[in-house]
Copies of this chain bind each other. A is one copy, B any other.
Amino acid sequence: MKYERVIELAKRRGFLWPSFEIYGATAGFWDFGPLGAILKRRVENLWRELYVIREGFFEIESPTIGVEDMFAASGHIDNFVDLVVDCKKCGEMFRADHLAQDVGKESTRDGVAKLIKAHNIRCPECGGELGEVRTFNLMFRTTIGPSSERVGYLRPETAQGMFVDFPRLLRFYRDKLPFGTVQIGKAYRNEISPRQGVIRLREFTLAEAEIFVDPRDKSHPRFDEVSDTVLRLYPEKEQLRGKDEIEISVKDAVKKGIILNQFMGYHLALVHLFLTGVGIKPENLRFRQHKKEEMAHYAADCWDAETLLDLGWVELVGIADRTDYDLKSHAKKSGVDMGVFVRYGKPKVVERLRIKPKMDVLGPKFKDGAAKVADALMGLRPERLDELGKESIEVDGKTMRIDPSWVECERVSEEVHGEKVAPHVIEPSYGIDRIVYALLEHSLAEEAVEGEKRLVLRLPPRVAPIQVAVLPLLTKGNLVEVAKEVALVLRENATLVEYDDSGTIGRRYRRHDEIGTPFAITIDHQTLEDNTVTIRERDSMKQIRVGIDGISDTIRGLLDGKIQFERVGTLV
């Protein structure tokens, strides 16, 4: 498996290693070592360049611990669960749906329980009888403060922290839609028994954007900028019919209704732009639409950007139209208004009925409650009298049908300046750790060079941890001094340089091939004579000789892809 080879290199060279290794490691927790952390940070910063700088979405930072009310409203307490079953004999716990997956396709609790019973599935460990199928919540639970009653959860997504901040964010954006907010931070999922190494972590980093839009108009003001982008889509229809992915422009996909709206289309294109920009090759990338049955009940449309790894297609990014579900749920639970008043271009004149409750009817009927009923009636704004009989009012939590005899009506005309809308949310949600792993797996190549095996990490220069190695050929003479000076000059130009003088030059090249350093500068005897150095390109292993003056600009140009390697100097 390529996974093992990637992880062997990642551990040995300081990209990734299992956390708490000296205590035997714990599944689902991995450390980013010195080189892995730089790689990850470069990916995050490129993400910020796109979403924060280009799109203008401000970043915020909310806590990783969330309160119970928040996750009750969001639905995570009820729905962020796996189905599990315990063995009555040995006590081991299993994913119930996994045990039943070979005998039938069921995903509900009852369905899975029936399958287990019908097929007499027993404990895979000891053969014992299995108990009831039950749900296991995947949020890590803790308690806040000294009383054990104040429950908190580690967030399963950063999104909720932005939804509960909506009233403050709306004010910050001066009460205008659309606007976006982003967050990059830790999220958690207490997996029952994670088995896919760094692909399925219990603690991971998400980069999420929540874009709040006017639900009446999901056209994107800058749709034209991306509309010609060609995406490899795997729509629900093609999946159900067992067909292949299709290649189609964003414009056509929206026009044909494959992608729900322009806002979704725009953000699918942005995800494509980002992933190919950090180094995921387009041929390893597709957008798979969620099928009706797998889509969250509140989502109107949902796509996963997937990449092809050795273990199959793996989700890197989810892009969803979450509709007004989240804001409405929090508004309901908290009692705080989450609507946005959208002004019309010019006021509309509307004819309405003004309602006057008949207290002589309501009094005898509702006694002490009459005033409250009258209040609720005055809140109604029907346009025609016959609508009134169809409406209901809520008084003290009880819903009641209106009897037209309770009121008198008067026709009035009103100027309406706008209306209140419940914003919808478009959300791209990136799994940063998986993107980092995918870059490693896609970049790792093994080749035979002069009869020896060469391991090389072909990371794009913009994400490679060490950008340039500076290597004196020998540690004799003035080579070391000159090399250190070259390193210093490059550092001053914000280039991440590693100076390295240990071991043979061949061994040093091998090490830098393995950690993906795109260029190596070697200082040799000729340097002392004519002020030139060699630059070795990692991928081609070709070397050119260039002047030491302007080396900083040369390297910067090579890293940015603005100058071509073989044109900079003479090939040696």
Contact = CB atoms under 8 A, between A and B. Distances in A.
A535 interface: no
A334 interface: yes
Contacts of A41: 59
A191 interface: yes
Copies in the complex: 2
Given A64-B64, A64-B186, A146 B192 contact: yes
A167 B34 CA distance: 13
Interface string A268-292: 0000000000000000000000000
Secondary structure class of chain A's binding surface, majority of residues: mixed
Contact of A60 (B32, B62, B64, B190): B32
Nearest to A176: B502
For the complex of A and B, list the 5 residue pairs with the smallest distance between their C-beta atoms, beginning with the closest.
A34-B58, A22-B334, A32-B61, A23-B69, A14-B172
A446 interface: no
Interface stretch (A134-142, A208-216, A518-526): A134-142
Contacts of A169: 33-34
A165 interface: yes
Interface residues of A, number: 74
A434 interface: no
Interface in A208-246: none
Nearest to A465: B58
A67 B18 CA distance: 13
Nearest to A45: B45
B31 A60 contact: yes
A336 to B, nearest CB: 4
B142 A141 contact: yes
A396 B146 CA distance: 42
A23 B141 contact: no
A84 B147 CA distance: 12
Interface string A14-35: 1001011111001111111111
B69 A164 contact: no
B64 A161 contact: no
